[in-house]
Copies of this chain bind each other. A is one copy, B any other.
Amino acid sequence: MNNIAVFPGSFDPFTTGHESIVKRALPLFDKIIIAIGFNTNKKDFFPLVVRENWIKKVFVTYENVEVVSFEGLTIDFCKKTGAKYLLRGLRTAMDFEYERSIAQMNKYMSSGIESVFLLTTPELTPVNSTIVRDIIRHGGDASQFLPKEINLEDYKI
């Protein structure tokens, strides 16, 4: 078990975009840990436990995917779990610049951890959690942007 990657995010909610990145990255790693970062001071849209259960449902048949939540610095979580890679998806140039700052700061703080990026597929490029939340908040049907295992009916906001 050498190549462990952490896929960190708030996943509020986990979208088809996230799902596609994890599934396509799997052959590269021995294990991918989907790590839901939480912050006791920040207001969530969906409760942490709901997000965690949803993601677990999506990967229930995947033995080398683990779903956990964590508080604190992502690089500290990587060290604790023995992960040497941070996995991230890239959608747009704006995404890229933000991810680059984070990844390079992480590397300054812990040079042993490498960030690895995959591209979202073209048809999933516009999908992002902020817009998905906005659709749900206004009573729209966001189901096409969520993995089929995630049923919003399970949780009524």
Measured CB to CB, the residues of A under 8 A from B are 2-3, 24, 27-28, 71-73, 75-76, 84-85, 90, 92-94, 96-98, 100-105, 107-109, 114-119, 121-128, 131, 135, 138-141, 144-145
Chain B neighbourhood of A71, CB < 8 A: 138
Q: Is the CB of A140 within 8 A of B73?
A: yes
* Residue of A28, A72, A75, A118 with most partner-chain B CB within 10 A: A28
Q: Is the CB of B140 within 8 A of A128?
A: no
Beyond the given A101-B131, A108-B144, please list 6 additional residue pairs across the A-B interface where CB-CB is below 8 A.
A24-B114, A27-B84, A73-B140, A102-B126, A109-B135, A122-B126
State which of B90, B102, B125, B141 has its C-beta within 8 Å of the C-beta of A131: B102
Q: Is the CB of B105 within 8 A of A72?
A: no
Chain B neighbourhood of A125, CB < 8 A: 101, 104, 122, 125
Chain B neighbourhood of A126, CB < 8 A: 100-105, 108, 122
* Alpha-carbon gap, A134 to B157, bound state (A): 29
A104 and B119 contact, Cβ closer than 8 Å, known pairs A27-B3, A138-B72 = yes
Chain B neighbourhood of A84, CB < 8 A: 27
Chain B neighbourhood of A105, CB < 8 A: 126-127, 131, 135, 145
Closest 10 interchain pairs by CB?
Answer: A104-B126, A117-B117, A93-B93, A96-B96, A73-B138, A101-B126, A73-B140, A72-B138, A92-B97, A94-B97
Q: Is the CB of A140 within 8 A of B109?
A: yes
